[in-house]
Structure 1
Amino acid sequence: MQIKALTDYGVNPKAIFTDKMTGGTQKRPGLALALKAANSDDIEFVVWKIDRLGRSVLGVAETLKLLRERGVTIKSLTEPIDTSTPMGQFVLNMLISLAQMERDLIRERTIAGVAAAKARGGRHGRPQVMTEARQKLAAEMLADGRRGVEIWDAVKALPGPTVGRSAYYNFQKDWLLSQEPADPTDDK
């Protein structure tokens, strides 16, 4: 949707920079490339929303300052902001602050949800693919001396979420390590 809006506005698809990750990470190679390309005063820097320019109020403000120092015009497709006026700067700062607050609230709710799930005995993250039945079957086959794809194929045949090869091999590695006798010289 965002890329279509940019191309509809007239942005050359080769001049559209994206970052695949989400969340609060500051490492954004797409934004870094876009900023590197925006190096003259005849460039219009077009974004879907101003808050795409950073992950915090300070980050967006620093990016905007850098672009303005280069004489680059900034255009938001979803926010009618004229960053060349004091009122436009004020509205921009308010929007950036609201975006920061929204991210902070989402992070706060996520942390609270994870804590509540843990308190209820739930687990956080992807579903456990190596179910108890799969672990039991794999352990029996490993104890019989079988290894690898033979066990993985048998485990995949059991009902439950899809078992990837790496999930099975992680289980096999952990199982094999658990079967090694303790080293009496180890002081841990």
Structure 2
Amino acid sequence: MQTQRILVLDGHPAPASLSRSLAETYSGAARQAGHEVRLLHLSEMDFDLDFGRAGYRDVKPLEPALEGFMADLAWSGHVVVMAPLWWGGLPAKLKALFDRAFLPGTAFDPRRPNRLGVPAPLLTGRSARLVITSDTPGWWQRLVYRRAIAHQVTRQIFGFVGIRPTRHSWFAPASHAGAGVTGRWLSEMAALGRAAA
């Protein structure tokens, strides 16, 4: 098995969460399998959430936490993000991480658009996995909401900057899951971590 460099992001803004448990389980199993892992907890990252500009002129400098995230992303070959589904999307602080850090010249190049006018992606050569916890059942998410969060992250965020493919794991209902259910989810994360998938 080929060794991978994996960036794992616990994308829950709270210091204790199911997302954190999933991230730590994945990371531990990946390390035991010989992969190199860097684990970040969104709750420990301090940065201004507001992009606060009307365009990309005079962009505010990145805080150390965002610089560290981009350095870890540049180092990685595989990215794993664990996050809860809140109001149909990512938690505000996690979305702000992408708003602030994925900038022109670093994540994409608007000076080199393709035939459709889409800027050239600059973070190619990486795959990803999005792990979502939710109270919305998977079948409802597929049939009614059309997996909107998966499309947003896969196509409009990661796909835009060249991180692909992005695979998905969906754990629901999460708020009142018993120990047996969460145990199965943690086992699944451990297996994915060992496989660097």
TM-score by length of 2: 0.28
Instruction: Flag the structure with more relative contact order, 1 or 2, with Cα contacts below 8 A and sequence separation at least 6.
Output: 2
**More strand as a share of residues:** 2
**More helix as a share of residues:** 1
